[in-house]
Amino acid sequence: SNGTHAHRLTGKLMLVVGELDRNVDPASTMQVANALVKADKDFDLLVVPGAGHGAAETPYASRRRMDFYVRHLLGCEPRW
């Protein structure tokens, strides 16, 4: 379980979950988020309303993921 190891997080993390995901229950993502909160770890969480398992590939989530990369890998603000 990812939640079991949440306290070991040392880098940046973005979780993306679709509200209607039928492959991975959104509750599983919330359990990981809860473990991260309990471990006092910073992370980004994006819940995509009405989306299923492919939520991270929606245009909005894709842009948010690219923004996350620009901020945390390039160290600057996105200029889209």
Residue 59 DSSP SS3: helix
Residue 78 DSSP SS3: coil
What pLDDT digit, counting tens, does each position of 54-77 carry? 999 999 999 999 999 999 999 999
Predicted pLDDT at 34: 97
| Spans of the chain, pLDDT less than 70 | none
Predicted pLDDT at 16: 97
Which residue, among 19, 20, 22, 44, has the nearest Cα to 32 in the 3D structure? 44
Q: Average pLDDT over the chain, rounded to whole? A: 95
